[in-house]
Amino acid sequence: MVVAQEARAAAVGAAVLKEGGNAVDAAVATAFALAVTHPIAGNIGGGGFLLWRGEDGRAEVIDFRETAPHGAHPRMFLKDGRYDEDLHHESLRSVGVPGTVAGLHLAWKQHGKLPWKRLLEPAIALARDGFPVTETLADSLKTFLPQWRNDAAKAQFTRAGEPMRAGEILKQPDLACTLARLAQRGPKDFYRGETARLLLKEMNGLITARDLARYRPVVRKPLAGTFHDAEVLCVPPPSGGGVALLAMLNQLEGFDLKRLGADSAETRHLEIEAMRRAFADRARWIGDPAFNPTLPVARLVSKAYAAELRRSIRPERASTSRADAFAWPVESEETTHLSVADGAGAAVSLTYTLEDNYGAKRVVPGGGFLLNNEMGDFNGEPGRTDATGLIGTKPNLAAPGKRMLSSMCPVIVTRHGKLFMVAGSPGGRTIPNTVLQVLLNVLVFGMEPQAAVDAPRLHHQWLPDQVAMERGAFAPALQDALKAKGHRLVERSRIGVAQLIVVGPEGRLHGAADATRWAESAVATGFVQEAQD
């Protein structure tokens, strides 16, 4: 089964499973297809994390997060001595060295079964032959039409400068050629070959040939924790998502949430306070472990530390987040996630991104792929902390070769050593909180998978000191009770787009796509008996 944010890409992964491919094969094929059909976040010019668990219980993380180029330094986002948001998020300085191609190839090389070329063929065909633009994609392309930052982007995603309409065929011939080169030569083309040449020309010296040639994904040991009778595997730093998730689960494990109820003011208050504390620690401590060798990860995810935090939670009153303590950099919500489980019991949870909507809004001329603006996840200015979320703490300041802090949180959950759940979500800093609530809905409140994904969500991230709640999703009485405890509430249209697979007691896979929040999300099954199921 494949659950992803776009139906054609999910079907690509399911077809790979039907041909005898495994979870990694399906994840790689789906990810390349998403680079064509879901350009808002699917990519070959970005980066992310792939969490794999084999049928024998072995697990690892492929960290293919982007890295800072050789010229990066902590004050690179200042203009005339002052922080400049455009430099940080919109300029070519915001582009990190991409990791997606190297990361997906490494995952395939270590765990894949089908030929590499086979996994790229569907993406090549979708880019070459085109596909009908959906209503969702048409609305997105129209919204971002004024923000395209080079002629190649305008040429690829418009028709003579006009936004593409639903039903029109989007063909991306340059991207098809790039994917065909990758199918033939693998990462060598992206990091040393023709694709590298095209990328370097667009970057005009801000990323160098040496930066590309030296990029390597990193194989890491997953973070592992427990929540009641479940074992939880997630990704370690440079993502703060896994640390935050385990910290929140550890805090909440000490409360009888089932007795309180899924949507009681008491439960929601406890969730908010756990979020507040986990995000405060994320901001203060987490960064690239290669540049921060003494990260206190073991302490932050320990049961003992969670007990300390739990004692600081007042059931009747909200805590206060202080802007003069610490915060974190701005992080976009336009990530994408896919969950895969194969028939042998292996699973992949993969989250990757361009950072912002369509990344840097720049397409590599002749290459057809969008550049990321992932450098915006580094802290913007050394020593600067304010209520908007900027911070200058050392762990996440820019430096050559450094990986920027992330919130990505792909998760695999087991019970008694057997696969139970594969989950994840896009959503920037809302990601770990989205995953938390989906897991609680299944593990504590006993919801069916689709109900667990569809249930209303809220979000707190330490600063700004406010609770974001999905518009129209929470009862007025609940909102009044939270306000009475001192929480400041704001509304937003959605929080996360969760993609979930649950293994039922009979061994059958149950998929839940978050189509209420993103209409194109889809479940695709890879069983031969799909029609009967």
Task: Indicate which residues carry an active-site annotation.
Answer: 335
Count CB atoms within 10 A of the CB of residue 182: 25
Q: For residue 67, which phi and psi values (nearest 5 degrees)?
A: -120, 160
Of 54, 35, 169, the residue nearest 418 (C-alpha): 54
DSSP letter string over 87-150? HHHTSGGGPPBP-HHHHHHHHHHHH--S-HHHHHHHHHHHHHH-EEPPHHHHHHHHHTGGG--S
Within a 10 A sphere around the Cβ of 388, how many other Cβ atoms? Answer: 13
- Total H helices, total E strands in the chain: 19, 22
Closest listed residue to residue 332, CA positions, set 264, 260, 251, 431: 431
The closest alpha carbon to 44, from 121, 116, 102, 5, belongs to 102
* CA–CA gap between residue 48 and residue 62 (Å, rounded): 9
CA dist 28 and 40 (Å) reads 18
Structural contact between residues 336 and 5, judged by C-beta atoms closer than 8 angstroms: yes
For the chain, how far is it from start to end, CA to CA, in angstroms? 12
Pairing of strands 467-470, 489-492: parallel
Please tell me whether residue 158 adopts helix, strand or coil conformation: strand
Helix, strand, or coil (residue 52): strand
Q: What DSSP designation does 372 have?
A: P
Residue corresponding to tokens 């530390």: 305
Burial status of residue 475 (CB atoms within 10 A of its CB: 0-12, 13-18, 19 or more): exposed
Residue 207: count of CB within 10 angstroms of its CB: 25
